[in-house]
């Protein structure tokens, strides 16, 4: 049980854990507090968004929609690990869940199966939405998983909680499956390994500025072409929420690569023949593919 951190304390905790944080204008006073209490707080809840693309997801989580007004969480964790703050206070993220699960979180023990929806989770949890299609095949990049770990550890550290204070939406509300693609037990293990030092692990030393792969020309991208450049391109497309891969990405140029690149072109505003999935120099330069 804890009094909510102030918005300033919350921001300091996240940045102190080595996270890259983007503040959406007005986030610190954007909330649903007029609909009920926020606090005492007992834990952190992790969700997936069933969306792709950072900018569109941040807008959705900030604004909400006609059936569910925003904010829909406190922060959005992008594929590249950046945390976008969209609200602070009561948020429409948890809904009604199992009171027995809440008691387990308070006691910091393994949560039981969620069987009922009788307790207001929006009151008791910090909530983070993670950009992922939630289909079980959309990748979870290492940077995103590390950001989930760091976000959770930052809040647990600030309140003196253990990793048992972190749960997934699927552990709270019957019928929910998020986050899908990793287990909450494995994430709690990661958070637990980060916490014992009693202070944030220092951020990794910044790597030298990565050199970018120059545009190899449109003719490079043809059926059967194999190159580490194609793998690097695919990883960047996944990070931008444009990957259409079920396996991979890999070194061979395929129609899945083309469909993924077409999604990137559309994200940049191209349409018609300009979004045919064959890289052009302008879209390639904006993708920032690291040198292989």
Has residue 199 been placed in a domain? no
Taking only the tens place, the pLDDT of each residue in 88-125 is 999 999 999 999 999 999 999 999 999 999 999 999 99
Pairwise pLDDT comparison (224 vs 20), residue with the higher score: 20
pLDDT of residue 115: 94
Taking only the tens place, the pLDDT of each residue in 157-183 is 999 999 999 999 999 999 999 999 999
Shared domain check, 258 and 184: no
Q: Which tokens hold the place of 32?
A: 């649903």
> Which CATH number covers residue 224?
1.10.101
Domains in the chain, number = 2
Answer yes or no: are the C-beta atoms of 89 and 33 closer than 8 Å.
yes
Pairwise pLDDT comparison (193 vs 202), residue with the higher score: 193
Instruction: Inform me whether the pLDDT recorded for 201 exceeds 80.
Output: no
Has residue 213 been placed in a domain? no
Confidence of residue 204 (pLDDT cuts 50, 70, 90): very low
Instruction: Inform me whether the pLDDT recorded for 9 exceeds 60.
Output: yes
Shared domain check, 66 and 186: yes
Mean pLDDT of 21-25: 96
Confidence of residue 241 (pLDDT cuts 50, 70, 90): confident
Phi, psi of 84, rounded to the nearest 5 degrees = -105, 115
In 3D space, the residue among 195, 86, 167 whose CA is nearest the CA of residue 131 turns out to be 86
Domain that holds residue 263: 218-287
Has residue 73 been placed in a domain? yes
Q: How distant, in Å, are the alpha carbons of 73, 147, 182, 196, 286 from that of 59?
A: 12, 20, 25, 36, 22
The bridge status of strand 166-168 relative to strand 43-48 is parallel
Taking only the tens place, the pLDDT of each residue in 41-72 is 999 999 999 999 999 999 999 999 999 999 99
Find the angle CA(43)-CA(48)-CA(49) to the nearest 5 degrees. 125
DSSP 270: -
Has residue 1 been placed in a domain? no
Counting residues of the chain whose pLDDT is more than 70, the rounded percentage is: 95
């Amino acid at each position: 049980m804890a009094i909510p951190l102030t918005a300033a304390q919350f921001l300091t905790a996240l940045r102190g854990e080595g996270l890259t944080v983007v503040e959406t204008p007005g986030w610190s006073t954007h909330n649903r507090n007029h609909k009920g209490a926020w606090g005492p707080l007992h834990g952190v809840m992790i969700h997936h968004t069933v969306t792709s693309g950072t900018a569109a997801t941040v807008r959705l989580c900030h604004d909400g929609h006609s059936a569910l007004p925003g904010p829909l969480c406190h922060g959005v964790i992008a594929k590249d690990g950046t945390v976008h703050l969209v609200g602070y206070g009561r948020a429409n993220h948890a809904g009604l869940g199992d009171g027995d699960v809440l008691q387990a979180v308070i006691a910091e023990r393994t949560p039981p199966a969620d069987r009922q929806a009788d307790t207001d989770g929006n009151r008791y949890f910090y909530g983070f939405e993670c950009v992922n299609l939630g289909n079980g095949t959309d990748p979870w990049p290492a940077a995103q998983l590390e950001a989930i770990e760091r976000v959770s550890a930052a809040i647990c550290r600030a309140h003196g909680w253990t990793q048992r204070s972190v749960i997934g939406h699927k552990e709270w509300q019957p019928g929910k499956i998020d986050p899908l693609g990793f287990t909450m037990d494995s994430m709690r293990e990661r958070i637990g390994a980060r916490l014992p030092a009693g202070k944030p692990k220092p951020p990794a030393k910044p790597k030298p500025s990565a050199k970018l792969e120059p545009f190899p020309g449109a003719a490079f991208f043809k059926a059967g072409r194999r190159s580490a450049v194609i793998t690097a391109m695919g990883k960047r497309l996944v990070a931008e929420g444009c990957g259409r891969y079920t396996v991979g990405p890999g070194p061979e140029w395929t129609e899945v690569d083309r469909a993924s690149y077409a999604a990137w072109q559309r994200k940049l505003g191209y349409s018609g023949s300009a979004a045919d999935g064959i890289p052009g120099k302008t879209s390639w330069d904006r993708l920032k593919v690291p040198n292989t």
